[in-house]
Structure 1
Amino acid sequence: MQIGVFSVSDITTDPTNHTTPSEGERIKAWGQIARKVEEIGMDVFAIGEHHNPPFFSSSPTTTLAHVAAQTERIILSTATTLITTNDPVKIAEDFAMLQHLSDGRADLVLGRGNTAPVYPWFGKNIQDSVELTVENVHLLHRLWNEESVTWQGKHRTPLQSFTSTPRPLDDVAPFVWHGSIRTPQVAEIAAYYGDGFFANNIFWPKEHYQQLIGLYRERFEHYGHGRADQAFVGLGGQFYLAKNSQDAVREFRPYFDNAPVYGHGPSLEDFTDQTPLTVGSPQQVIEKTLSFQEYFGDYHRQLFLIDHAGLPLKTVLHQLDLFGEYVLPELRREYAKRKPADHPDSPTHESLLAARQAGIKPAMMKNAAGPADA
């Protein structure tokens, strides 16, 4: 199991002291957070892509390349790379470059995004979002897996004998996750290619995501990539920790109540009851996180939203210290105990290369090399 954090890159006023960090402060904070993620033994650092205030992460690969130079072990990923409005040629080149700079510690989550105005900003029509997703994913896979690509589609100019550069490291493309919170077609696309499916289940009740993940697993097996229970599933989560639950609730409540994504909506208590958000003691975070397997089956990646809602950097780093000391070791032990013998390791560059050399599907690898795995 890969365990890590993701950020949506919001710039939010701290409701407890009414201070607002600058864009520069938030951008540079990511380096400190990533170094802390590696220090405490987590596996993945992922950032989102947005092109509008109050968010600032418009160029994830630039940021991740900077983080790669400051770290040695963690996987560098995205919480969303917009497959609808980015040119797949540029995605192919940017992430192959990131692969080389990070020695293979790079993958990505493709998604349609959740900001409607982004489509016209990049010359696209939101009515074409599913068509753009299907067409661009298809081209992206070809660009990484074929040396010379001749291609014609509906939504971009044709390519004639085009070679994307640099080529993927070791001729192994970065592993692709597909992020979705509502679209069955995305689950189908992920299954078709044998890619991963990341269900960022931080807002809606679990029953909704059970349907999407169930569809992805069923179609993953249909397309011959492995059994349904071996499919590559990732989940989101959120936590705020204190040594006792009363302190956690008292400290986090003003941030929750004023958060741009869910403030002034359901109560903190209702939200923690209906979603993966856990505000409480280390044991409560452990128990809530381990319960995800009961609903969604064995899975491969667990990411937590950690630096949002105006939480100051000092608090975020302290939260990670608490997680590393009290929660992470227990999750590691329990995940290792629960892992079926034929459940494939979480995908890494090393495991994908080993599967390719062995001539088998990655989901059919047993105990493949994966330094970030439990």
Structure 2
Amino acid sequence: MQFGIFTVGDVTPDPTSARTPTEHERIKAMVAIALKAEEVGLDVFATGEHHNPPFVPSSPTTMLGYIAARTERLILSTSTTLITTNDPVKIAEDYAMLQHLADGRVDLMMGRGNTGPVYPWFGKDIRDGIPLAVENYALLRRLWQEDVVDWEGKFRTPLQGFTSTPRPLDGVAPFVWHGSIRSPEIAEQAAFYGDGFFANNIFWPKDHFRRLIDLYRRRFAHHGHGTPEQAVVGLGGQAFIRRNSQDAVREFRPYFDNAPVYGHGPSLEEFTEQTPLTVGSPQEVIEKTLEFRESFGHYQRQLFLMDHAGLPLKTVLEQLDLLGEEVVPVLRKEFAVGRPAEVPAGPTHAARAARGAGEQR
């Protein structure tokens, strides 16, 4: 079981101080958070990809390459790579290059994004979102698997005798997750290829994500990749932790009440009741996270969103101390209890390379 954090890289005013960090400060803070994640024993740091304010991570490979040079163990991932608006050729080359620089500590999560105006900025039509995701990913896989590619499709110019460089490290492409909030077509895509499926699991009730994950597991087995239990599942989550739950609620409430991401809708109490958000003590975070297994079955990766809504860097680093020292060690132990032997571990380059270059999973 892999544990880590993911960031959306939002630049949001701190409601308690009315101060908004600069883009420079926010980018540097994301790096500091990644370094802290490795320091406290987490396994994964993942960044989103956005091309619009108030977000800053427009170039994930640049950030992850920089972090790779300053870490030794951390798996570096995206929490969204825009398969719809990025050229598959550029994705293939950028992430293979990052693989080499990071000695294989790289995977990525394909997603369509949730910002409509991005499509025309990159010459695409949002109405083609699903077809773009399907066609672009099919090409990306070929670029990683085949040394010479001849290809023709609908959304980009044809390729003739094209070789993507550099080739994937050890002949093994980065592991791919397909992330989705609401699209069964993306769950089907992940199942068809035998890739991982990542359920955002943040703003919606668990029944919504359970349906998507159940669909993915069934179709994974249908396509001959193994049993439903052998499908590779990742989950998001949100937490704000203090040693005392009352302190956590008191401190986080102004961030919840004012952050645009929460939409000024349900109260904090209603939101924590209806969604995976946990605001409380380490034990409360442990208990609620363990419930995910009851809802979704055994899974491979748990990422937490902890640096959004204007929270200052100092507070986020304190959160990571609590997560790494008091929450994750217990979760590792508890999630291992009763875990069937046939359930796969979280994907790593070393394990996949040992199985052979022909295996994508």
CA offset at residue 325 of structure 1?
1.7
1:225 aligns with 2:239: no
Residue equivalent to 1:106: 106
Q: Which residue of 2 aligns with 1:372?
A: none
How many residues align? The count is 361
The answer on whether the counterparts of 1:355 and 1:361 sit within 8 Å (CA) in structure 2 is: no
Which residue in 2 is equivalent to 1:351?
A: 351
The 5 A counterparts of 1:278-357 are 278-356=278-356
> SS of the counterpart of 1:55?
coil
SS at match of 1:248: helix
2:51 aligns with: 51
Shift of 1:338: 3.1
Contact 1:256 1:263 in 2 (8 A): no
Equivalent residues of 2:6, 2:303 under 8 A apart: yes
Letter aligned with residue 217 of structure 1: R
Deviation for aligned residue 1:361: 7.5
Q: For residues 360 and 14 of structure 1, what CA distance do their matches in structure 2 show?
A: 46
Q: Equivalents in 1 of 2:338, 2:278: separation in Å?
A: 22
- The alpha carbon displacement at 1:259 in A equals 1.1
- Cα distance change of structure 1 residues 361 and 224 upon mapping to structure 2, 3 Å threshold: farther
- Please list the CA deviations of residues 227-264 of structure 1 after superposition, one character each: whole Å capped at 9, or x if unmatched: 11110000000000011110000000000111121141
RMSD of aligned residue pairs (Cα, Å): 1.0
Where in structure 2 are the equivalents of 1:246-285 lying within 5 Å?
Answer: 246-285=246-285
Contact 2:84 2:112 in 1 (8 A): yes
Percent identical among aligned pairs is: 71
Could you tell me how far 1:266 is from its partner in structure 2?
1.0
Per the alignment, residue 142 of structure 1 pairs with 142
1:64-213 alignment to 2 at 5 Å? Answer: 64-213=64-213
Q: For residues 290-325 of structure 1, give each alpha carbon's deviation from its aligned partner in whole angstroms, at most 9, with x where no partner exists.
A: 000000011000000011000000000000011112
1:369 paired residue number: none
Aligned letter for 2:45? Answer: F
CA distance in 2, matches of 1:149, 1:177: 23
The one-letter amino acid of 1:338's match is G
The alignment partner of 1:45 has SS state of: strand
Confirm or deny that 1:23 pairs with 2:23: yes
Asked whether the 8 Å contact 1:242–1:281 carries over to 2, the reply is yes
In the alignment, the residues of structure 2 paired with residue 351 and residue 303 of structure 1 have an alpha-carbon distance, to the nearest angstrom, of 21
Amino acid at match of 2:43: D
Residues 152-184 of structure 1: per-residue CA shift (max 9 Å, x gap): 000000000100000000010000000001101
The answer (yes or no) to whether the contact 2:9–2:30 under 8 Å persists in 1 is: no
- Once the 2 structures are TM-superposed, how far is the Cα of residue 211 of structure 1 from its aligned partner? 0.8
TM-score (norm 1): 0.95
Cross-structure match for 1:244: 244
State the distance in 2 between where 1:129 and 1:351 align. 33
Q: Matched residues in 1 for 2:156 and 2:328: separation?
A: 45
Residue 360 of structure 1, CA deviation: 6.6
Per the TM alignment, residue 30 of structure 1 is displaced from its structure 2 partner at its CA by: 1.5
Letter in 2 for 1:147: D
CA deviations on 1:192-214 (whole Å, 9 max, x unpaired) are 11100000010111111111111
**SS at 2:68's partner residue?**
helix
CA contact (8 A) 1:10 1:309 kept: yes
CA distance in 2, matches of 1:81, 1:152: 22
- Matched-pair contact (CA < 8 Å) for 1:31–1:70: no
Whole-Å separation in 1 of the counterparts to 2:209 and 2:322: 29
AA in 2 matched with 1:91? I
Cα distance in 1 between the residues matched to 2:257 and 2:97: 41
The amino acid that maps onto 2:36 is K
Cα 1:302–1:324 shift into 2, 3 Å = same
Return the letter of the residue paired with 2:67: V
Amino acid at match of 1:38: E
Deviation by residue 1:106-129 (Cα, 9 ceiling, x = unmatched) = 000000000000000000000111
The SS at the match of 2:182 is coil
Partner of 2:3: 3
Structure 2 residue ranges without an equivalent (≥5): none
Aligned to 2:60: 60
